[in-house]
Each structure stands twice: as C-alpha cells, then as structure tokens.
Structure 1
C-alpha cells in the first residue's frame, strides 16, 4: 500500500495554512454571532448569515492589507534603502562599516565633524543661527546622512544658535547602539550613552 510523506517544509506550510483557516473561521463565527446579537437591539440591521460573515471578514482583511502596504511603501519612500526584508517582516538595514571598532568610531566621528563644519558655515552666514530643521535646503541632503549605506540621518535639534550654552545639536540614530556620537552647540564632539543624551536634551544643556 503506497505511503505518501510530506517534507518538513511542506508540513510547516500546511500547519500554517491550517492555523490561518481555523483562525479565519473562528473570527468569522465571532463576527456572525456579535452582529446577530446586536440585531436584537437594532432591528433595522439586516440578518447576517455565516457565509456573509466570511465575506465581510475577508473584505476587511483585504482593506487592512492595503493600508499596511501603503504604510510600508510610504516608510520606504521616506527612508529609501533604510529597511530590508527579513522573512515576512522588515528591519533596519545594518550599516556596512569597517571591521575594527576603533576605526568605526573614528569614521563615525569624522562624519559628524563634516556636519559640524557645514552647520558652523551656515551659522556664520546667518547671524549665528543654525538651520531650523534638517528638511530644508540650507545644507545638502547628503550632509545629514550617517556613516554607512543605511540612508539614515543624524537626529537634529533645530532652532539653536552657535556658541550658545552647550546643548545637544545633532547625534547619531539608534543604528549605532547605546553609545552615540553627539555634536553640541559649542562645537564639542562627545561620545555618550543615549540615556545621558536624553537627559541633556531635557535639561537643555550638557550633563
């Protein structure tokens, strides 16, 4: 008597499909029951059969999928190349950096020094004022980007002036972990834990 066995991958796929169908049927049953329970208090509502409940849940699922796809597309447009697909989800692209930790740190610092040079040149031409935000055309878009090919920008705190009481002006995003390079309004560059950066921002100055 022939005996057919599924591969491990096929078994996993079959289990996933079976689980999805079971959840779909249960949710449809819940919608069907709740709708008809509500109909007791609102007689004007049409009676909903189980088949109609299945169709309703399916249509709502399609609408939610469309919304989620639009959100994902908008996120990719705002930060091109910053996200990569991993299985069914997306995660931040890891920057391709030099292997040596000290070289990485110095390269990251150098990137922030380049931004400092551009910011101070802007301030000198505008009465000491830095750009209000990092969305305008005061500086080239590439100047705001951090080291690597992630496409992420430095986190910028606009509306400040050069040589004012020391406060964080720009710092690295979460791509680089808890220790980030920070540029202060007095021109100092410092490597700090993210908790200290947040405290300095709350106090309006350096800790």
Structure 2
C-alpha cells in the first residue's frame, strides 16, 4: 500500500515527539469510530479522536499536522459514532453541536475555544460535532447548542453561548455539583434505551 510506505518514513519522527504510530487492519473497528473510507488516519489525545482529512500520501503534511495536534489545544471534531462511544465510556464531557457553515456557530466556537484548557483542568472533555441529525436525537432544534454529559447523563445549557465565562461557570457547576438533571423527552428515550436503571421524576 502506497500510503503505508509514505507513513513509514515519519515513524521515527513521531517517536521523537512522543507520538506512538500504529496501524490496524480491521474495518469493523474503523466503522465503530465512524470511519467509512480506508485508509484513514486518526490521532488520539487523552482518548479523544481527531480524524485527518488531508492527503495521506503527503508525509510532510501529515507530520506537521500530528505535531500541530500536540502543540495546540482546541475543541476536537468527532463523528456521531465517536460521540456515542465517548458517552458510553461515561466521560465528563461538553459537546458543542454546531454548523460549520453557520456564522453564529463559528462565533460561538471561537469563544468556547478560549475555555478548553480550563475544561481540561476540571476533567471535562470538550468536543464538537457538525451533525444536525445527531443534535435532533437529543431534542436540539436550534444550533449551536451545548450539552454536558456526566456518566452518560445529558444536561443542556440554555444561556448565551457567546459568553464564555458564564459557560465555563456553568460547566464547573455541573462538574462539581450533584443534582437531578433536567432532560428532554428525546434524551429520556435515549437514556432508557442505553441504561438498565433509570429513575424519572415527572414534574
């Protein structure tokens, strides 16, 4: 495979930067992460996946991208399969549902990039997903929207997403408090289908 031959050339460089470069011949595992086309390259940082969307035969560009992932700290894009897997793992996670072609979504994303480090310090994984259908599964009708997951339980932020400090304060409160979460009917359907035991207060 030509791609593999190219990438073998940067294996040593990856080692120097502390990046473990491995390969796997398993299309079923790729599908679990929402990867349809093979070959494909995914970078993981703290178990959070980020898919490379450039030319897989350009080894210099790939090495630059990998090193860039090490050095920068930004909200990672995930597929719906990746998101489902992260939720299933029970991580404390903030998920921004956005539209890459929408100006408001871009403004919100630019603001929230500023609190990614603070979320890391709180033990909150911050990811984003450009998938309207996935948002609708959680009862989200307007994008951009933010949902916080704790132990697989979702809670929707209902404030102004362009006020990053208020968003951070809300996320910190979610991470440190222990409250009964308010959910939509769509979220309830998902919880009942995914979890063996769910107590619901209808109020």
Q: Same fold (TM over 0.5)?
A: no
TM-score by length of 2: 0.24
Q: Answer 1 or 2: higher relative contact order, Cα 8 Å, separation at least 6.
A: 2
Q: Which has the larger radius of gyration?
A: 1
More helix by share: 1
